[in-house]
Amino acid sequence: MKTHGELLAGAVGELAGVSGTTIGQWARWGYIRASRSTGDPHVYAFEDAVEALMVKALLDRGVSRPMVRRAVAHLGDYGDWPLSEARLATAEGGRRPKIVLREDDGAYALTPRGWQRMVAPPPLEDVRLRLRRAG
């Protein structure tokens, strides 16, 4: 897939509302990737920045970091930018919110065993991105 732009970690962090160091950590931990370069410095595409925004949105909702990593691993069919390609939502339940994948045939909660279809899904809050203008 074609990528757009070339951004360093600091710029991606500014877009996502985190530090450039955090972006580098997210790339090392597998939450996002630097699709424009593999060497130092890492160079990110706009699409990678959108993935970072999705990671931030999930973490802001209280989803655990291991669950974000698990979601990325289990969304392999969605291409290079799975968090922004999949129709994701969150659902309250237990100690932390769950990540839910919306498909045409139903809702699937992410569990330690992978995606499990929800028979009676609770209210779901879609994960949508809004880019904000700097004031």
Interval 11-15 mean pLDDT = 94
What per-residue confidence (pLDDT) applies to 128?
82
Q: Which of 108, 107, 87, 90 is nearest to 99 (CA)?
A: 90
Question: What pLDDT digit, counting tens, does each position of 16-61 carry?
Answer: 999 999 999 999 998 998 887 777 888 999 999 999 999 999 999 9
What per-residue confidence (pLDDT) applies to 129?
74
> Cβ atoms within 10 A of the Cβ of 11, count?
15
Question: What pLDDT digit, counting tens, does each position of 79-93 carry?
Answer: 889 999 999 999 987
CA dist 78 and 6 (Å) reads 22
Tokens matching residue 58: 């999930």
Question: In CATH terms, is domain 9-126 a member of 1.10.1660?
Answer: yes
What per-residue confidence (pLDDT) applies to 135?
47
